[in-house]
């Protein structure tokens, strides 16, 4: 609408917003550039075979949402029965394809990029899961982001700058800039990553207009 009205605005253009809203398309673009993302499978109907070839645990997400919509503690599954139940829940609740991803155990990093022609990476932030109750998975769920009455909201606190080895920090910065460019981001974006226990960085999402 802003472009149709010829009004100047900051942030990502429409094509970038649409691309990043499509998690599968984003993952395919990043994979084509050899940027590591968790292994995945897309489920388009309840009738599909669930022989997915992935390693449990999995995290089950709606394919076309952001802001952690559809992601709560039950999104992490460990077997076929809980997977089938979660897929049905998302089809019933959000009526869209479902993304299955291998769950990456490790640290969660938020890598913000700011600028236009010469974007720069801001100090990296880390979500501290250390005070989460044992019955909650270390994820940034919908409740952790938006529900001030939920314990996850108060126990997923960002630490900035994140205490990182220089080698890991530099690699994360390079990956974030590459994602920013590949997806046509502009002015500001946030790249969410997981640092696995064997020190491999996986891009979870690229957020072109982050909160």
pLDDT less than 70: residues of the chain: none
| pLDDT value of residue 47 | 87
Q: What is the DSSP letter of 95?
A: -
123-126 long-range contacts, CB within 8 A, separation 24+:
123/160, 123/161, 123/162, 124/160, 124/161, 124/162, 124/164, 124/169, 124/172, 124/173, 125/158, 125/159, 125/160, 125/161, 125/162, 126/158, 126/159, 126/160, 126/162, 126/163, 126/164
| pLDDT value of residue 14 | 95
| pLDDT value of residue 48 | 86
Strand pairing report for 106-115 and 187-196: antiparallel
- Is the CB of residue 5 less than 8 Å from the CB of residue 173? no
| pLDDT value of residue 49 | 87
Cis status of the peptide bond prior to 195, with omega within 30 of 0:
no
| 14 φ/ψ sector (left φ>0, alpha ψ -120 to 50, else beta) | alpha
């Amino acid at each position: 609408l802003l472009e149709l009205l010829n009004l100047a605005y900051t942030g990502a253009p429409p094509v970038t917003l649409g691309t990043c809203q499509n998690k599968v398309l984003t993952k395919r673009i990043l994979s084509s550039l050899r940027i590591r993302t968790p292994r995945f499978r897309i489920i388009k109907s309840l009738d599909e075979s669930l022989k997915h070839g992935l390693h449990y645990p999995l995290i089950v997400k709606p394919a076309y949402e952001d802001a952690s919509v559809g992601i709560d503690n039950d999104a992490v599954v460990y077997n076929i029965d809980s997977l089938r139940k979660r897929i049905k829940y998302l089809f019933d609740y959000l009526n869209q394809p479902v993304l299955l991803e291998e769950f990456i155990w490790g640290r969660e990093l938020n890598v913000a990029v700011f600028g236009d022609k010469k974007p720069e990476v801001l100090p990296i932030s880390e979500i501290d899961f250390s005070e989460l109750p044992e019955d909650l998975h270390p994820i940034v769920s919908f409740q952790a982001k938006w529900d001030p009455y939920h314990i996850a909201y108060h126990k997923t606190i960002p630490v900035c700058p994140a205490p990182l080895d220089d080698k890991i920090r530099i690699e994360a910065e390079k990956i974030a800039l590459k994602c920013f460019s590949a997806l046509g981001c502009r002015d500001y974006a946030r790249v969410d990553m997981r640092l696995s226990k064997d020190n491999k960085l996986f891009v979870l999402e690229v957020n072109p207009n982050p909160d």
